[in-house]
Amino acid sequence: MNDIGFAIAIFGAAFTAIFAGIGSAIGISKPGQAAAGVLREDPDKFGSLFLLVVLPGTQGFYGFIAAFLVIIKLGMLGDKIVTPDLWQGVQIFLACLPVAVTGFISAIHQSHVCMAGIHLVAKHSGEAMKGVIFAAMVETYAVLGLLITFFLLNGIRL
């Protein structure tokens, strides 16, 4: 039965990395396309656009961090692997959900805010930081998802 708990825990780690990563990939693609259009007209705006393009990619890192925390919790980097029972495996899986879901959804929505920021930069080059600040407001919820996952994982005793 311990193998099932271990598998469920690993599935939680994979789930969070995959879904936060997918959200980030989708999130970066949309502002990247918009920025390419702006750069076609004015290549000097690259510096102003770069942060708006990469910002939705941070959620993928949050999913990676959460997956890495699970790997550490299970002792997979050390000499002794911890095998959780079924219920502990389910707890670890559930603990991964906040960052997986908030990372997926917020990256996509953040990309829309970043695209609006890119449109702002297209007309007013000096206003890039206003777009970044608005996009960072969406980022807050991905950070909260990561924090909840961190605290939940920390509370699970193996």
- Amino acid occupying residue 34: A
Question: What is the model's pTM?
Answer: 0.92
With bands split at pLDDT 50, 70 and 90, how would you rate the model's confidence at 79? confident
% of the chain with per-residue pLDDT over 70: 99
d(CA 107, CA 85): 33
From the centroid of its chain, how far is CA 16?
9
Q: Give the pLDDT confidence of 49-65 residue by residue, as tens digits.
A: 999 999 999 999 999 99
What's the CA gap between 108 and 78, in Å, rounded? Answer: 36
d(CA 155, CA 83): 16
pLDDT for residue 129 is more than 70: yes
- Pull the structure tokens for residue 24: 């980030």
Q: Range of 71's domain?
A: 2-155
Q: How many domains does the chain have?
A: 1
What is the distance of C-alpha 85 from the center of its chain? 28
Residues 6+ apart with CB under 8 A from 79: none
Please report, for the domain that includes residue 22, its CATH number: 1.20.120.610
